[in-house]
Amino acid sequence: MNAAKELFEKIKAVFNEPIAPPAAPAAPVVAPVTLAAKTYKLKDGTEVSISQAGDVIAPGDSVTVGGLVPAEGVIILEDGTAIAVDATGRVVSVEIPPPVTTDLANEPAGPTLEQRIATLETILANQAQATALAAEERAEATGAFAAQVTQTQKHEKTITDLFELVEMLVKEPSADPVTLTGAKKEKFDKLNDKEARQARMAEHMKKQKALS
């Protein structure tokens, strides 16, 4: 086996090692919702604990009365708030009584219908913006992953082609130049040039392996 073929077999063994596929993009992290327990009282003084997601009682909150899950039905707090719960203690609906005032003229006016609509539109716009941003981040991560896979496939194809070319060159016959003369010696000199090119190609493939 000549030197070029030995070199080729060593390089081929290096490139035959499996290449680990690129890691898939990580899924976006969603922050968990923290429920804060607040204590209320019924009209008879019994304490009611409600685990709330927000500042006010809302459907989905969890209710316990005296440390136990209440029966399905309606609970009336001492301020008159009516809370409907299901069999698991989850709030189904909340009805807040209107405020009792003695002097309506001095009471501050509540938000108008236009103000409520404007607030709702702001909330919806913020939610739409957050959804669009999350979709954009997922698209960017997916695009980067696809580009990495394509680049890896290109490197693998280039390495395969180089191996095929070097293997053809290694199979070229060689002879002792001392026993050759004339045209045969000239042909042998050209083959020696090929071996030099093979060595350069092997060095090039090492650099390609390092880049990939």
Q: Which of 78, 96, 114 is the last residue of a domain?
A: 96
DSSP classification of residue 106: G
User: What's the structural domain count of the chain?
Assistant: 2
What does the pLDDT read at residue 35?
61
H or E element in which residue 125 lies = helix 113-170
pLDDT-based confidence at 129, cuts 50/70/90? Answer: confident
Task: Tell me how far apart the alpha carbons of residues 198 and 4 are, in angstroms, rounded to a whole number.
Answer: 7
Residue 130 lies in a domain: no
Residue 174 lies in a domain: yes
Residue 106 lies in a domain: no
**148: number of Cβ within 10 Å:** 14
Same domain, 147 and 200: yes
Average pLDDT in the 71-100 region? 88
For 154-168, how does the pLDDT look when each residue is reduced to its tens digit (9 = 90+)?
A: 777 777 777 777 777
Task: Tell me how far apart the alpha carbons of residues 134 and 129 are, in angstroms, rounded to a whole number.
Answer: 9
Task: Tell me how far apart the alpha carbons of residues 9 and 161 are, in angstroms, rounded to a whole number.
Answer: 15
Share of the chain above pLDDT 70, in %: 59
Residue 57 lies in a domain: yes
Residue 117 lies in a domain: no
pLDDT-based confidence at 116, cuts 50/70/90? Answer: confident
* Residue whose structure tokens are 């809302």: 58
Same domain, 154 and 194: yes
For 4-29, how does the pLDDT look when each residue is reduced to its tens digit (9 = 90+)?
A: 677 667 777 766 666 666 666 666 66
Same domain, 163 and 195: yes
What does the pLDDT read at residue 85?
92
DSSP classification of residue 33: P
Q: Which has more pLDDT, 35 or 36?
A: 36
Highest mean pLDDT among 49-53, 170-174, 206-210: 49-53
Question: Range of 43's domain?
Answer: 33-96
3-state secondary structure 161-182: HHHHHHHHHHCCCCCCHHHCCH
Same domain, 42 and 13: no
- Sheet of 47-52: strand order equals 36-41, 47-52, 62-65
Task: Tell me how far apart the alpha carbons of residues 35 and 30 are, in angstroms, rounded to a whole number.
Answer: 16
**Between β-strands 82-85 and 73-76, what pairing exists: parallel, antiparallel or unpaired?**
antiparallel
pTM of the model: 0.34
